[in-house]
Amino acid sequence: KYGRVRIYTPDTSGTTQLNRASILLALSKTNVGDYTEDANAVSGPTITAAGPSLRSATVLFDNSYNLQQPKAKVRLSTYTWPNDAFLIARYTVINDTTISYPLYLGLALSPEPGGAYGGETVTYDATKKVAYFYVSGTAMYMGLKLVSGSPYSFHVLDYGVYSPSDPNSDAADDSTRYKMTALPGFDNSLTVGANGSIYNLNAGLVTIAHGDSSTFSVAYVWGTTLAAMQAAADSADVRYKKVFTSIQQTSQAVPQSTSLLQNYPNPFNPGTVIEFQLHHAGEVSLSVYDVLGREVAVLANGTLNAGTYRVPFDGRQLASGIYYYRLVAGSFIESKRMLLVK
C-alpha cells in the first residue's frame, strides 16, 4: 500500500525473489522522493478481477510520511494474466501543487533471489532492454523492462556501498539516490557479495506542470532460464501494445479545441468505440474506471500529435454495469459515462 512491488515464486513456501521495487522522484541531490523516507498510503490497495483473465491492483500514495519535496502523489496500477511470466505496472506521477516539478523518474529494485540476499549478478541486456538479476547455477532470472519507451539509464551498486552505515536496511542518503536516478549511462554487470544489491532502471527527466501528471509503464519479467526471461520480455511488449496502445488516428487536421466524444454504440456489448480530438500535441491518457473509481483498462498512454483519434474498447472481460472513461490531455480533463449490458 506504500507503492512497493514484491514478487514471489508460487511454490509451497512463497519464496521471495524480488524484495522491493519502488519509484524514485529525483528533484535534486537533497530532495528525492523514495519508498523508505517518504511514501505514505493515500488509498488502496484495491483489486479488480475482470473475468477469468485480467486482474488489476491499484494503490495511491504520496510523500506525506515526511512532507519533504517533491510533494507529489503516485498512482500505481499493476496488471496480471494467468500463466504469463510477467506483470505490467503503470506509474502515474501527479503534481497537485502550485509549482512545476522537473523530476527524474526511475525504479529502484532490491533483489532477494531464493529468499536470501547476496551472490546475485545484476546486468543490463541492451538488445532486450531488460535490467535483470540471477544467481549462477540457480533456475531464476528476473528483470525489469520499460515498455512505454526506451530507458534513460541503468545503475547498480553493492548494497554495502549504497547503504554503508547500515547494509541491513535502506539508510542511503538522497545524494546517492539522485545519482542512481539522474545520472545518464548504463553500468557494467556486477556480481555482489553477502549484502546483496540495489539497481535502478530509469525513465528520464520530465517536467510536470502543476495540476498535471506523467505516466510510464514497465514489465516485471521472469523465467527459469535466461532465454525464458527474454521470451517473457518479448511477450510483455506484445501484450502492452495490444492492451494499452490500440489507438488509431483518423485525421491529422487540427481541431478547434480538445474534446472527448460520447462512445458508440452506447449501451454496448461487448465492444464500443471512443473518439477524442486534440488541439495540441502532448501527453495523453485515456482510461476506463468502474463505479468505485478503480481503473479497469488503459486505452491510451503517451505523446500524441494534434488530430482526431478513435480507440476500440472490448468489455467482454467485464461485468455488466456503468463505467466511466476519462481523457487527460495537458490541462484538459473530462469524463463520460457508458453502459455495458450483457
201-227 confidence digits (pLDDT tens): 999 999 988 878 888 899 999 999 999
What confidence category does residue 282 fall into, taking pLDDT thresholds of 50, 70 and 90? Answer: confident
Which residues on adjacent β-strands are paired with residue 222? Answer: 142
pLDDT at residue 295, as a whole number: 82
259 vs 45 pLDDT, higher one: 259
Distances (CA, A) of 91 to 44, 106, 210: 15, 10, 18
Kindly state the DSSP code that residue 230 receives in the 8-state scheme: H
> pLDDT by residue (tens digit) across 65-100?
998 899 999 999 898 988 899 999 999 898 888 999
Average pLDDT over residues 174-199: 97
**At residue 51, does pLDDT exceed 60?**
no
Average pLDDT over residues 164-172: 93
- Cα separation, 290 vs 6, in Å, equals 26
Lowest mean pLDDT among 103-117, 134-148, 195-209, 231-245: 231-245
CB atoms closer than 10 angstroms to residue 252 = 9
Task: Using the structure block, give the residue that is written with the C-alpha cell 549504497.
Answer: 162
Q: Contacts for 259-267 with beta carbons within 8 Å, 24 or more apart?
A: 259/334, 260/325, 260/327, 260/334, 260/335, 260/336, 262/336, 262/338, 263/313, 263/325, 263/336, 263/338, 266/338, 266/339, 267/338, 267/339, 267/340, 267/341
Alpha carbon 236 to its chain centroid, in Å, reads 13
267 vs 242 pLDDT, higher one: 267
Distances (CA, A) of 25 to 35, 72, 85, 106, 214: 10, 9, 28, 7, 12
pLDDT at residue 227, as a whole number: 97
pLDDT at residue 281, as a whole number: 86
**At residue 159, does pLDDT exceed 90?**
yes
Lowest mean pLDDT among 136-140, 229-233, 315-319: 315-319
**At residue 16, does pLDDT exceed 60?**
yes
What confidence category does residue 50 fall into, taking pLDDT thresholds of 50, 70 and 90? Answer: low
93 vs 10 pLDDT, higher one: 93
**At residue 245, does pLDDT exceed 70?**
no
Question: Which ranges constitute the DSSP H helices of the chain?
Answer: 159-162, 174-182, 226-244
